[in-house]
Structure 1
Amino acid sequence: MTTPDAGAPARILVVDDESQNRELVEAMLLPAGYEVYLAEDGAEGWAAAQDKKPDLIILDLMMPGLSGFEVCARLKTDPKTGGIPVLFVTALSQIGDKERALAAGGDDFLTKPFQRAELLARVEALLKVRHLNRDLERALAYLYELELARHAHRPKQRPVPAPPVPGAGVILVVDDQPLPRQLYADVLREAGYVALEAEGGVQALETTRQQTVDVVLLDIMMPSMSGLEVLSKLGELIPDSPVIIVTANPTSDNAIAALRLGAFDFIVKGFKNEVMLSAVSRALQRRRLATRNRALIHQLEDKVQELLATLREHAEESNRLTARPPER
């Protein structure tokens, strides 16, 4: 099977610590016209995935050192490899093993021993899904560019924002592209929010260190520091502030990885203003609920400490009375 780009053969990376297994899978794939790369353990497979950018990875689950579970989890959380489908091949057949493999981000599961026809069918199906996702991403990106161009040809005067509604919330918009960033921020300001802008991950993190941010609107595809990296760090800096991911493709592995990393929600580029405002409103409700719950927990902890202090005082008084010599 070929890739849709220039008719080149699809590239498949086979990762297995058993040489006979690697060679067997390679022998099954080569006659079908695939370009095959081999890696003998998880660490080598991870490095090869970064270097070769294959169209599909066939990954053994049980390997010494870096296991297939760990390799897959790393691949799926890295923006450069997150979209590569992973076919797990293993002798394990327990339902729990399959669930764990799929939870790690695997796209399909093949149990040893298997027939060549079954392997080729799984490979072809995953490659078709991969190609369809790429086509969808291109189409969405094209529509997004058209929408930006439409806004760019509007009069340059930016709308006068309404004064912030007291307690409406502070929203941080993070996008390396100035036009969509300004559009999102303008819509938020018109709705009465305080909208801050950051042109990348570093500036976004610095902003959250300097002032309170209630909700973050985060583009997932950015140079230098990706949206997934920013999301992970925001979870440490402002754990109670929900993050809404902006993505061109909600079915991509990056969007799924973002939800696994704790993103509150995602919205698809080209959205109507009402969609963004609704997501922000729900995120603020969650933020306020989390803040209120945290305050209640602190109050409860203070009450418990007060009660413990009172009990200690009573215990000390009781000990003093007990230790006092009896009156004659």
Structure 2
Amino acid sequence: MASVLIVDDEPENLELLEAVLTPAGHTIRKAGGGREALQAVEQELPELILLDLMMPGVSGFDVCEMLRASERTARIPIIIVTALDQVPVKERVLGLGADDYLTKPIQAAEVVARVAAMLKVRHLRQDLDRTLAYLHELELARHGHRRRTLEDLEGASREVVREPGDPKASMVLLVDDEELTRQFYGDLLVEHGFRVVAVAGGTEALEAASRHPVEAVLLDVMMPEVSGLETLEKLHRRFPDLPVIILTAHPSSQNAITALKLGAFDFIVKGLQPELLVVAVRRAIHRFAEVREKRDLIAALETRVRELESRLAALAGPSQTP
């Protein structure tokens, strides 16, 4: 069936869960604490984790947070098994990325059912990821073929293909380490009237955002060296009003969720309808224009207030003494 890692600092709880799940055909691995659990995951990825919260040293909260922070382990289903039944505890751990929550004392039938349901969801996610990856590669291949055909027939240069006719068109910064992806989305945006600056990494993105009048950013979340999340944080610090749309290959990626928490405007799944990306870019540019207009209005009002204060001070004049 599936490889299940059980994490609990109480040996009797480990034995109980093992006894419940082994007859269902699952391969059981056990860890007596948070640090041991992280080591076990590093050695071999389980298909599902049953995780206790209250453990000495590295707690279940810590384990959940660390697993969700890594792309390698972010998609492992985690079911919390704990004696804590308070709503704030549930909200906290589910907010950290846990998938389900069971309260001790456990009911054997419920544990087996929850594990089976979570594994089914995991398999559906994997099928969806494979389908989206296939669609994305297919779309890139079709676009590359069409692009080469047009260039052969028309002798069009890259600059002509990627630049719209209107020099006043909104400019979009496209950041992705895959050249085919940059070509595909770059040409798509140009076809819809945008100007595009395309770069391959986070460092180049920061430089381009400083040099060009960018109004929106399309940012791949998975890149070597400077990651998409790190690039997002740096862009947000230097250009707080600039909307950033995350590109991800996984619709349920924890990195995409983290990006939204870090201030990303939206996220787009590669392989879905390209029109969705165009709509998201237009919404982002509209938001950017609204924020910029509000800032200009506030600055104008502040200037007007200072002018009025100066006039009032001049009218009051120096105080007269009899």
Q: Which segments of 5 or more consecutive residues in structure 1 lack a partner in the other structure?
A: 2-9
- Aligned pair 1:97/2:89, yes or no? yes
Q: TM-score, normalised by structure 2?
A: 0.81
In the alignment, the residues of structure 1 paired with residue 312 and residue 28 of structure 2 have an alpha-carbon distance, to the nearest angstrom, of 72
CA deviations over 1:147-175 (Å, ceiling 9, x no partner): 22212222522553323442x43211111
Letter in 2 for 1:90: T
Indicate the SS of the match to 2:214. Answer: coil
CA deviations over 1:151-208 (Å, ceiling 9, x no partner): 2222522553323442x43211111211121121122233332311111333323433
Q: Is the 8 A contact 2:176 2:223 kept in 1?
A: yes
In the alignment, which of 66, 77, 83 is matched to residue 85 of structure 1?
77
Q: Is the 8 A contact 2:144 2:184 kept in 1?
A: no
- Distance verdict in 2 for CA 1:82–1:298, change over 3 Å: farther
Q: Which segments of 5 or more consecutive residues in structure 2 lack a partner in the other structure?
A: 152-157
Deviation at 1:133, TM superposition (A): 0.5
Deviation at 1:106, TM superposition (A): 1.3
Letter in 2 for 1:275: L
Q: Which residue of 1 aligns with 2:220?
A: 219
Letter in 1 for 2:107: Q
Q: Which residue of 1 aligns with 2:165?
A: 163
- Distance verdict in 2 for CA 1:238–1:37, change over 3 Å: farther
- Distance verdict in 2 for CA 1:34–1:297, change over 3 Å: farther
Letter in 1 for 2:135: L
In the alignment, which of 76, 93, 105 is matched to residue 113 of structure 1?
105
Indicate the SS of the match to 2:51. Answer: strand
In the alignment, the residues of structure 2 paired with residue 43 and residue 154 of structure 1 have an alpha-carbon distance, to the nearest angstrom, of 52
Q: Which residue of 2 aligns with 1:6?
A: none
In the alignment, the residues of structure 2 paired with residue 89 and residue 305 of structure 1 have an alpha-carbon distance, to the nearest angstrom, of 61
Q: Is the 8 A contact 2:246 2:264 kept in 1?
A: yes
Deviation at 1:44, TM superposition (A): 3.9
- Aligned pair 1:34/2:26, yes or no? yes
Indicate the SS of the match to 1:214. Answer: strand
Coordinate RMSD, CA, aligned = 3.2
- Distance verdict in 2 for CA 1:89–1:299, change over 3 Å: farther
- Aligned pair 1:128/2:129, yes or no? no
* Aligned ranges 1:1-328 → 2 under 5 Å: 1=1, 10-156=2-148, 157=151, 158=158, 160=161, 161-166=163-168, 168-298=169-299
Deviation at 1:306, TM superposition (A): 7.9
Letter in 2 for 1:262: G
Q: Is the 8 A contact 1:248 1:269 kept in 2?
A: yes
In the alignment, the residues of structure 1 paired with residue 314 and residue 60 of structure 2 have an alpha-carbon distance, to the nearest angstrom, of 58
Q: Is the 8 A contact 2:68 2:74 kept in 1?
A: yes
Q: Is the 8 A contact 1:246 1:267 kept in 2?
A: yes
Q: Is the 8 A contact 2:82 2:104 kept in 1?
A: yes
Q: Is the 8 A contact 1:88 1:110 kept in 2?
A: yes
Q: Is the 8 A contact 1:85 1:126 kept in 2?
A: yes
Deviation at 1:143, TM superposition (A): 1.7
Q: TM-score, normalised by structure 1?
A: 0.80
Q: Is the 8 A contact 1:218 1:244 kept in 2?
A: yes
293-302 or 88-97, larger mean C-alpha shift:
293-302
In the alignment, the residues of structure 2 paired with residue 115 and residue 292 of structure 1 have an alpha-carbon distance, to the nearest angstrom, of 58
Letter in 2 for 1:214: E
Q: Is the 8 A contact 1:173 1:218 kept in 2?
A: yes
Q: Is the 8 A contact 1:265 1:279 kept in 2?
A: yes
- Distance verdict in 2 for CA 1:62–1:311, change over 3 Å: farther
Indicate the SS of the match to 1:62. Answer: coil
